Structure 1
Amino acid sequence: MIVRPYVEKGGKLFTFFCLYIAQSIPMSFFSTVLPVIMRQQQFSLETIAMLQFLKLPWILKFLWSPAIDRTSHTLGHYKRWIFSAELIYAVIIFAISFLSFQVTPYLIIGLIVMSFVASATQDIATDALAVVSFSKKDKGLVNSMQSMGSFAGAMVGGGVLLLLYNKIGWESLLPFLAIFVIIALIPLVFFRNNQMKIAPKTLAKPHPNDLLGFFKQKGIWKQVIFLFMFYAGIIGILSVLKPMLVDYGYNMKEIGVMSGIVGTSVGFFSSLAGGFIVRLVGRYAARIIFAVLIVVTAIYFYLLVTMFPVNTATLHCGISLLWGTYGLATIIVYTTAMDCVRKGFEGTDFTIQTVITHLSGMIMAVGAGKVATLFGYSGLFKLEICIAALSLIYILVIFRNKNEEKNERRITEQI
């Protein structure tokens, strides 16, 4: 009887791990293979950076997130949204397998955008279900599952599948990927939760205040600015990493191993550790620790291209530091985001906050291509150091002398 609650919690966590990995593998594959192909075909860094706009659905998903909150009264409603979105996701992936990027590039890009709309919808419903399914003390753990699912998806999609693509092409690979997306939903079929806390829904349609109300909360703008700045110190590095490896003479197979497998594996395990770190030291201390690591990562990459010898060993060290720091950073971002949702608007408020991070990342990634083109990789990494340092200073100044737990409790009571 004592063991049963832990088994049930483990089953719930595994369900969310599967949901997050199902949405992330195809996205990681498409996001990884297209930049490599384009760089090998001598596309400019500016043009490759424009691929970030493929993720525009993840920026705009806040527009339809209220519809999911308004129509989700029970666990069955959440399941219906998730199953429907993931089925559409799988069908589009299967359809792309019949097309060639060299022959129909615009059609493929259009289908990829549509598939990202489906995955974004699944993500809204999954995040909302996660918020109402776990207590505050366990939110760090479920966010570890979210981050681990994303990194595992990146490892498979950007590593293993990149190697398979190099051998068999996506016409043979994508059908199996579509099947996997469906299989990953199986744990959700058996998901049961008698402790869900869902606010009653009284309106049938989304209302503009669902979105604007989030920004009207007292003290919320500190969190908004934090979300916009926190990732910016490493997103630019992540966006140019693969093209940089191509410039240093590494082929698709080697890039798949270095970034897609080794790097994301480190991110996977660091995100698991991040959940326990946040639970152990608290939100405030975690913000500072992870922000310092972002500064250190940016400094390392600047030294790598200006002073250190650039070889496989130093690149592996930098890639591991980059992905490990990113994995830790995601946990504090997601955990503090869950702390700031209004009851009854879980999907909307969490989506708004993740959209802020995606928007910041897209702006930084597109800008990184321009900066790297004009000033080289060293110029970009200088800029990243400045942004990361500014983010750290912001955390120290805005949140200093604050009791984090009392602060979070006050915000929770207000919302």
Structure 2
Amino acid sequence: MPTPLKPTESTLRPWYWIPTLYFTEGLPYFAIVVLSTFMYKSFGLSNSEIAFYTAWFYLPWVIKPLWSPFVDIYRTKRFWVISMQLLLGAGLAGIALTLPLENYLLYSLVIFWLLAFSSATHDIAADGFYMQVLDKGQQAFFVGIRSTFYRIAMITGQGLIVILAGKLENIYDVKTAWQITMALLACILVGVSIYHAFVLPKENKQPRQISSESPFTSYLLVFKGFFQKQHVVVFIAFILLYRLGEAQLGKVASLFMLDDRSAGGLGLSTEAVGFIYGTVGVSALVIGGILGGILVSRHGLKAWIWWMALAINLPDLAYIYLAYVQPENSIVIHILVAIEQFGYGFGFTAFMMYLIYIAEGSFKTAHYAIATGFMAMGMMIPGMFSGWIQEQLGYPHFFIWVMIATIPSFYVISRLPLDKDFAKSRVNTKARQD
């Protein structure tokens, strides 16, 4: 009879830190690339300006593999997680201080961009920490939880925080309202970093040690290992194309809801848009994410990847309906947003789990960072031009274009290599064997 594994802090208490870790991974990200969109819209910038400027914030996530080996090699993931959260809190406080200045746009763009580097570094450490302290069965089970709380951070960033900013705009001037909002976010980041200093388990493995005389050689080994993976071209194509439609939709959807009806939008207030995404949307998202994680854990990713691809793409049809009909009934809008958010929560589970599959092998943390760098590129480039495309086509034709852009993802999935039992929980596998 095999000797049972001795329970460790990381196996007994993952619920204490996985939700907050991935909420904290998502919150600064969405504050930088999404919440900034609402802020600049309130300040009167055009759709094309907003999409172009904020898409550039993705750049640090694209190039983060250049410094990800440092996170994989030096110090511990726990150290990087806590220190980056403190730095992010300080940076958001800096944004709050720049908004009253005459050149606020330049200063805020620069600080947002620097914050993006800190957030990208935090992502590397957090994802590496997740893979290091949990076994594959736990990773599969919690992938739905982590994706759900990551998306809850998105809903918080473009939902609940937007509601707060909208209410503050009714009390103060626009810039003061957003100053208070950014200061609140800074306090949240600092508070969570203190919490994590107490609850994050210490890694069992020491950071990988390399000769200080050959860091460049170690970099080359990391990148060479990734690009020599079998099927690497298909892997990269999947990462870039799985969310091609969503990359464009995500930049424009909130602007569509905020724009006047005469401009083709829905004419909703800042508070109303925040309420839609922060209530019905988050509920549907949680259900979709948790369901996706449970099903993948029980049956493996291969059994569900096609259904998840359909779930993340087909609900985008809702925006075509909204653009043509421009319904005034808020219930209809809530229902359609709920369907789209459920589909995204369900389908995004497959995407995140396949990134783990791609990263298998040596230098897991660094290879996962390279994969997420390509993921950011897949969001940055389409998003950068989405505002301009929308202004050229109008909202109805733009959303039709978004649906056309989902087609390549299905072809790539048909070419994906994937082990039948990958991500299947050990408990379920053993039950089948018994």
Question: Cα–Cα, structure 1 residues 101 and 367, in superposed 2: closer, same or farther, change >3 Å?
Answer: farther
**TM-score scaled to structure 2, two decimals?**
0.83
Q: What count of residue pairs does the alignment treat as equivalent? A: 399
Question: Aligned residue for 2:343?
Answer: 325
Q: Which deviates more from structure 2 when the two are superposed, residues 156-165 or residues 166-175?
A: 166-175
Q: Which deviates more from structure 2 when the two are superposed, residues 311-320 or residues 63-72?
A: 311-320
Question: Aligned residue for 2:375?
Answer: 357
Question: Aligned residue for 1:163?
Answer: 163
Question: Aligned residue for 1:98?
Answer: 97
Aligned: 1:62 with 2:65: yes
Cα distance in 2 between the residues matched to 1:173 and 1:384: 32
Please state how far the C-alpha of 1:157 moved relative to its aligned partner: 2.3
Question: Cα–Cα, structure 1 residues 70 and 368, in superposed 2: closer, same or farther, change >3 Å?
Answer: same
State the AA in 1 paired with 2:186. A
SS of 2:219's equivalent in the other structure is coil
Cα distance in 2 between the residues matched to 1:284 and 1:249: 42
Question: Aligned residue for 2:239?
Answer: 227
CA contact (8 A) 1:337 1:353 kept: yes
Runs of 4+ in 1 over 6 A off after TM superposition: none
5+ residue gaps, structure 2 = 169-176, 260-265, 425-434
SS of 2:45's equivalent in the other structure is coil
CA contact (8 A) 2:24 2:153 kept: yes
Aligned: 1:189 with 2:198: yes
Question: Aligned residue for 1:412?
Answer: none
Question: Aligned residue for 2:281?
Answer: 263
Question: Aligned residue for 2:421?
Answer: 405
Give the alignment partner of residue 214 of structure 1, picking from 204, 212, 226: 226
Please state how far the C-alpha of 1:275 moved relative to its aligned partner: 0.9
Cα distance in 2 between the residues matched to 1:263 and 1:23: 20
Aligned: 1:52 with 2:70: no
Cα distance in 2 between the residues matched to 1:203 and 1:356: 29
Question: Cα–Cα, structure 1 residues 8 and 64, in superposed 2: closer, same or farther, change >3 Å?
Answer: closer
5+ residue gaps, structure 1 = 409-415
Cα distance in 2 between the residues matched to 1:127 and 1:138: 14
CA contact (8 A) 1:163 1:256 kept: yes
CA contact (8 A) 2:33 2:58 kept: no
Please state how far the C-alpha of 1:46 moved relative to its aligned partner: 1.5
Question: Cα–Cα, structure 1 residues 363 and 292, in superposed 2: closer, same or farther, change >3 Å?
Answer: same
Aligned: 1:129 with 2:129: yes
Cα distance in 2 between the residues matched to 1:141 and 1:407: 8
Question: Cα–Cα, structure 1 residues 217 and 31, in superposed 2: closer, same or farther, change >3 Å?
Answer: closer
Question: Cα–Cα, structure 1 residues 33 and 287, in superposed 2: closer, same or farther, change >3 Å?
Answer: same
Q: CA RMSD for the aligned pairs?
A: 2.8
Deviations 1:309-330 (A, max 9, x none): 4642232222222222222232
SS of 2:229's equivalent in the other structure is coil
Please state how far the C-alpha of 1:308 moved relative to its aligned partner: 7.5
CA contact (8 A) 2:86 2:190 kept: yes
Cα distance in 1 between the residues matched to 2:90 and 2:123: 17
SS of 2:97's equivalent in the other structure is coil
Question: Cα–Cα, structure 1 residues 374 and 337, in superposed 2: closer, same or farther, change >3 Å?
Answer: same
Cα distance in 1 between the residues matched to 2:15 and 2:226: 27
Q: Which deviates more from structure 2 when the two are superposed, residues 294-303 or residues 373-382?
A: 294-303
CA contact (8 A) 1:234 1:326 kept: no
Please state how far the C-alpha of 1:66 moved relative to its aligned partner: 0.8
Cα distance in 2 between the residues matched to 1:256 and 1:269: 19
CA contact (8 A) 2:78 2:202 kept: no
Aligned: 1:244 with 2:256: yes
